[in-house]
Structure 1
Amino acid sequence: MELLERARVEWFAAAVGLVVGTSMVFVPYEFGSALFHYVYPHIRPLGSLFLVGAGMTLVALMYPAWPAFVGRVGRALMLAAIASYWWAVCVLPVSPTGTVIYLLLMALLVLERRALRRGRGLLLVFLACVALCFGPLMLWTPQGFVRFALASMGPYVRWVGLLFLLMGTLLAVGLWRRKPWPCRLALGGLALLFLHMTVAVVARRSWSGMSVYGVAALTCALLAAVRRWPTLVGVRWRLLRGMALASVLPILGVGAVTSYLAQRALEVELRGKARQAVAAETAWLEQTASMASSLLRVYSQGPGLIAAVRSGDREGMRERLALLEGPAGLFDAAWLLDEAGDTLMSSARLDWVSGNFADRTYFQDAVKGGAQVLLSRPFLSLANLPFVVFTVPMELGSGRRAFLVGALSLKRLGLQPALASPGYHVEIFDRRDGSLLRETERGNALSRAPVLDLVGAEELTRPEGLVEAFDGTGRRMVVAHARVAGTPWTVVVTARLREAFAPVTRMGAWVVAIAVLAGAIALVLSQWVGRDVAVRLESLRDGFAVLGTPSVEQRVQARGDDEIAQLTLGFNEMAARIDRTQKELREAIAIRDQFLSMASHELRTPLTPLKATLDLLIRQLKAGQGMNPERQRDTIARLNRQVDRLTRLIGDMLDVSRLQSGRFTLTVAPLDLTALAREVVERVQVTRPERAAQLMLELPTEPLVGRWDEQRLDQLLTNLVENALRYSPPGTPVLVRVREEADGVRVEVEDRGIGIPEESLPQLFTPFFRARNATEHYAGGLGLGLAICREIVERHGGRIQARSEGPGKGTCFTVWLPRSAAAEAA
């Protein structure tokens, strides 16, 4: 139920605005019926207002993080467009369906802002209100619904109203009780009802009604069928909305401009063609009237006809009248009248022309008009044939006159092909009484000209003009008219805008179809691309989720050559670095634990005898017992050795701290390395007399002088010698060798001790590291001495190396030093 309650009126309004606005912009002449009489002159601006408002509203709905003014401006434009349309199309022409639906749409668009603060939309409320209003209106005033586009619903409009009332009530009850199944059932029924109304208005080709009811039917169907809306987050949604806007809106915009330009061009062409058609028809009629007048005047002045009339030669008069009609003549009939209006002679085909015609208008006008040729009003002959006649007086001499009359059949005039386009309707009428002379479609003559009911008589009194009007079916038409010079006739050419603009309408329909197709293709492609991108990003997300977990594979497969693939490669490299860092961290933690264990043991080792000896001395002093000098010296020597051991341990830890903080520096001065090596060996022999015999020294005969740090090289040699003694069994030799080489000095410390396993050699100079066999053969130490030795050698610009053939085969440490420390050179 919560899913249905969150449906928003803004989506419905935006969809209606897009469809209605697109129709108004692309096919404005489809809104040319009398229902749109007030809004038609501004149809394109109103459609543009609908499109801009709907577009901004959609952007605000799809991009909620954008500034809030985008949505506010979009809603304001939508409300302005809907209000204008509602007043001009629904209220003024009194359209009940439009009045209800657009009024409710505006009201709920305004109220929805407050409802959204509680997490609820008002779309279901809008649909329920529409149904509850449609139902009673259709039941009580069905005649209001059979007007305009819903005429096809006339026989059963009450039944449709009853169904609307039932579905609206069911939907309202479902909303009130918060039950989803009544709501979905009511929405399904409303979808069918709105679909039925859509079909009804399509049959009458009402674009606006089709848009509103079609959107309403689709909305109800979606709300009834969808159980779970897709989550509008993530890369797929971003691509979807981006592709939708980028593909549909530009096509609609370009298509609207193109359609507008095409419509303007076609409108200019239509008006031009209508004027040309009027001009062509007018010229043809002027030519016909001019030829008829000239021919009749020439015949009236012919000596032979005048002589025949004077002498009463009936055969001569008949022969000459026959020349005016027939295939070679211009007139359909001709006859002669005397001054009293009696028939003197008629053509062979007009046997009905006999008797007195003094009451005819054409005779009376000719008697009054003098010698000019007069064009009479159209009339029905005695045989009920429509004619228009030209009359000219004949001077017979001695004050006598006769009248020559030439008649044009309006039926034959109507059979003449129109010079205008076949899609145009041509009318010719007499301005004096409005009698129709010619009409291309129905062919009626002497009836009232239909154009007089279409356009006001005042407009047609002008010499020429072009106006728009509505025909009997309420469709807009273009009316062009012009007078026929020298006659009381007016030519009118009319064209229906819908038929005239059918090519532009088809073009607009194609543009809209292409935009919809492009949007659909773009949406499908965006989903395809979005799925690929989303899958790869989800793989990265899963990789980040397990990042740092030692037991889980953290590598992500890199596919493609785009930025995501590069990001994946970067992630894999980062994961590898993190793995290495974690491995090093674990090793560092293990080394730290090992160091703490060793350090506590190593510190406790000298402290225990030191404390025991001090306790013994304190007890003896308290008891007043003395100690012989020899034993006293031994006790103090043991205490001194333990203190030295503590000093070395603390010094090594301080040196490691200096190494890690970058404060390990050298003090370089001239130094004899041979003397230093001899001094170190002798000191070790003194401090460790039990191992003095093991130490052997090989030195060059000449001093080896260079610029080194004496204290650090002393520490280096002491560490290497004591380390060799520590891991060598008693009685095995330890050789210290110093040699001069071309590029510096070489120092070797070689023993026959426990040796070093091959796998331990690469890590031998790492702080706190001890080889496996060294831990088994405990000889004390923290594993810092070799690391300090390497740092001392490298700071001097030299190098150190350990070589061993394996466990139990001894070890040889080799140091190469330049003559001058690299630190001083730097």
Structure 2
Amino acid sequence: MHGPSLRRQLLQPLFWVWASGMVIAVAGALLLARAAANAAFDRGLQDEASALATKVIWSDRGPLLDLTRQAMELVTWDRADRNAFAMVDVDGNVLAGDGDVPVPPAERRRQSVHQPMVFNADYAHEPVRGVVFSVMSPMLDRMVSIIVVESTRKRSAAMRDIQIGIVLPAVALGAVTFALLAWGIRRGLQPLRDVAADVAARGAQDWRPLPLQQVPAEAVPLIERINTLLDDVQRSMSVQRRFIADAAHQLRTPVAGMRVLLQDLQQELSSATPADGLRGWQPVMAQLLSSNDRMARLIGQLLSLARSETSLAVDAEYQTQDIVPVLREATEPLVLQALRLGRSITLEAPDMPVAARIHPLWFGEVLVNLLDNALRYGGEHITLRVRAADAERPVQVEIEDDGPGVPPELLGKLFEPFWRGERADLRNDGGTGLGLAIAREIVERMGGLLEATTRPQVPGMRFTIALAP
């Protein structure tokens, strides 16, 4: 189970920083909009109260408010807000204006002698913002208070407009900034994804060092360590291949010598008379020769596997050519062998050339191994079928027989080296358990795919080779 991606680990803390900053910015914008709108509208109310205070006239009958009707309508008329004013005496009695205007407490009215003071109240079932400004008579024996109120509709709309004007650009700028950060991180990690894509596109035997161009400096030590590991694995695999090839080569000579001796001994036993008492050794000699043949075949296939791993790495030896003649030439000896055994091998191929990119020698080795497997374990009838490439599939070669097949759950083990089925120790079929493993190894090195299908999908057993164009 892998951990979270590096991109996520970088973006997650940045996201929380960005989100926290946005919350703080939005909250600050709301407070700033509220304060700015209140300050502007409160200043207007204070100016209005101060202007009305200048219209107070002190007469023998008491304080009067010298306002014309037009001036009074101008003070109270507003299309968006509900405005009202009043002049009250020290006891709170309304001397002029609207009698329903809310009157602040006496203490607050006395405090507003030097400057207008703001208060909140309700007027006509609606919240209002008001200003009270008290004026003293010239003889300092009387005081009146000018009260101006207005509803909060217009200032709420102004607050909302200011908040939207601040918050929306801030959110948009924050989103763009975060998107740019995400893009920058993605761009910075792109070289690592390119390296991963390069690795995914390589074959199983491609041990070239990974490129370091454009790789971030922080990732260079990791890529260099991977390159060192690839080099170590390549050297280890080369040593193993050389060991297999050398061991197989060294074993061929004593095995060949052993076979010669066994054949000589078998001729001596065949020429012996019954009186010599040596006829009972004939079955033993037959078993020894059979074991020797099997050992020689195993050594030959080990050597073939080692050689194929080396030669198939040379790309220049691949050729795009018609595979049908290669197929006929490689399988002709096995066709004759099948006839001697009373079996049949049928070739089904189109009349036109079927071109594919192959290594001619080792493609023939694949066909021989698969047909040999069909002759050993398949049924009476074997079909070799060639399908040309089309829009939906590449070139395909099928080897199909009508034998018993294998249990479906064992299909995955067919290509394992030395696996010869259940109770292989009780069979004497001459198989080595390497033919199918070698065939798959060669096909995959040629860029193709080898798959097996068994009953009930096919009459017995089918091997399908898909070749690269």
Q: TM-score normalised by the shorter chain: which range applies? A: 0.3 to 0.5
Which has a greater percent of helix? 1
TM-score, normalised via structure 1 length? 0.24
Structure number with the bigger relative contact order (C-alpha 8 A, sep ≥ 6) is 2
